[in-house]
Structure 1
Amino acid sequence: MTDAPPVSIQEVSRRSGLSEPTLRYYEKIGLIGPVPRDASSGHRRYGAAAVERIEALSCLKATGTSVHDMRAYLRHLDAAADDDRAAQLRGLFRRNADRVAEELRRTRVRLRYLRLKTDLWDARERGDEEAERRAVEELTRTVPELMG
């Protein structure tokens, strides 16, 4: 990709999935270095290295990684290779994996609650008092976890 000609912001947006305003914002806050401009049009022209960096940022963004952690990631990537860099990056990815795992846990609780409410109303519609009682019991156990 290093021999590829520079590409437009539209092309980078298409490739990365990041919107044009997000690309401009990332440039403004320094996640992406200054992007050269076409001399005749003034439009941004992204080189291969910038596109690779943007694609990496896009992956991080897709996982919900914060801008703060994106900065840390880039800082460690740009640093000289050493044992500390690997440990720092491992820690950054572990923290983000733990965050996503907690989000999944909370999402599963919300899903369980919604399915139990569906079961409850299904039982009420059928007039099945035993199924309704079971749904209420499960809901009673689920609500604290949902709210916590």
Structure 2
Amino acid sequence: MAMTYRSGAVDDATPLTIQQVSRRTGLSEPTLRYYEKIGLIGAVGRDESSGHRRYSPAAVETIEALSCLRSTGMSVRDMRAYLAHLDTGDAPRLHELFQDNAERVAQEIEHMRIRLRYLQLKAELWAARERGDTAAEQRAVTEITPVIADLR
């Protein structure tokens, strides 16, 4: 079965170069080397003639999964846990891992909402000052005070 990669049609069994894997996954070449160095991905085979890395389809599949996890902000520690629990089929641990990370992202979203509200109110405050609208400026100050406490 043929798979189509961004670089063109490539057979399933054809190992990919680091550049191809980088383009396919969105992970930089230094990140791919780092993941190999720290053992997050296994040792990558080398081309006999050039010594350049050649990623097997199985390695690419793992790297694609890691790329998705990284894009969520998952830590390397949690990515290691994911791979370990995946290997053992430990569904309860995988559920817990993803639930914990979902809660982390929900907290990040809440913090971002607070930051957004602060910035919106500051923009309203400065727009009111620019217009000379002291009533609108005072409303912005009143609304922003509790938001400042939430920023901390």
Q: TM-score, normalised by structure 1?
A: 0.94
Which residue in 1 is equivalent to 2:75? 66
Task: Write the mapping of 1:16-95 to structure 2, written as runs, cut at 5 A.
Answer: 16-79=25-88, 81=89, 85-95=90-100
Letter in 1 for 2:120: R
Deviation per CA, 1:58-108: give whole Å up to 9, x if none. Answer: 0000000000000000001111x3xxx111000000010100110110011
CA distance in 1 between counterparts of 2:65 and 2:108 reads 22
Letter in 1 for 2:124: D
1:9 aligns with 2:18: yes
Q: TM-score, normalised by structure 2?
A: 0.91
Deviation per CA, 1:36-55: give whole Å up to 9, x if none. Answer: 10000000000100000000
CA distance in 2 between counterparts of 1:58 and 1:117 reads 36
DSSP 3-state at the match of 2:54: coil
Q: CA RMSD in A?
A: 1.1
Which residue in 1 is equivalent to 2:128? 123
Unaligned runs of 5+ in 1: none
Which residue in 2 is equivalent to 1:106? 111
**Cα displacement (A) at 1:129:** 1.2
User: Once structures 1 and 2 are overlaid, which stretch shifts more, 123-132 or 56-65?
Assistant: 123-132
**Cα displacement (A) at 1:130:** 1.1
Unaligned runs of 5+ in 2: 4-10
Letter in 2 for 1:129: T
Aligned length: 143
Letter in 1 for 2:116: L
CA distance in 2 between counterparts of 1:57 and 1:49 reads 13
**Cα displacement (A) at 1:3:** 3.0
Which residue in 2 is equivalent to 1:140? 145
**Cα displacement (A) at 1:24:** 0.5
Structure with more of its chain in strand, by fraction: 2
CA distance in 2 between counterparts of 1:64 and 1:115 reads 26
Identity of aligned residues (%): 66
CA distance in 2 between counterparts of 1:97 and 1:38 reads 40
